[in-house]
Amino acid sequence: MVFDSLQAFIAMGGHGPFIWTCYAAFLIVMVGLVFWSFQQRRQVIAQSLRQQRIEQRKAASTPVSPSESELT
């Protein structure tokens, strides 16, 4: 390490606030991107499961009697 102490590392010779602001922004945006992308994945899967359930119910109810679908 080129710094003598942890304090010196954090202070960065007076440039600490600038450097740490940048690295914090980088971390926040990267984590945000990943989180958002996986949230989209969950939404797409949930949406298509819902669609499948609706179609199954329709398929089950139309050819047979309508009362059957109320039971399930």
Partner 1 sequence: MPGKWQWFHKLGSPRWFYGIADRFNPLLLGSALLLLVAGIVWGLAFAPPDYLQGNSYRIIFIHVPTAFVAQSVYIMMAVAGAVTLIWRMKLADVFVRSVAPIGAAFTFLALFTGAVWGKPTWGAYWVWDARLTSMLILLFLYFGIIALGSAISDEKSSARAVAVLALVGVVNIPIIKYSVNWWNTLHQPATFKWTERPAMQMDMWLPLLLSVLGLYLFFTWLAFVRMQTEILHRERRTQWVRQLIQQRKG
Site residues for partner 1 per CB under 8 A: 1-3, 9, 12-16, 18-19, 21-23, 25-26, 29-30, 32-34, 37-38, 40-41, 44-45, 47-49, 51-52
- Could you tell me the smallest distance in angstroms from the CB atom of residue 6 to partner 1? 10
**Closer CB to partner 1, residue 1 or residue 71?**
1
Structure tokens at 48: 């298509």
DSSP 62: T
Distant-in-sequence, close-in-space partners of 68: CB < 8 Å, separation ≥ 6: 60, 61
Cα(41)–Cα(37) distance, integer angstroms: 6
**Closer CB to partner 1, residue 22 or residue 64?**
22
- Could you tell me the smallest distance in angstroms from the CB atom of residue 65 to partner 1? 27
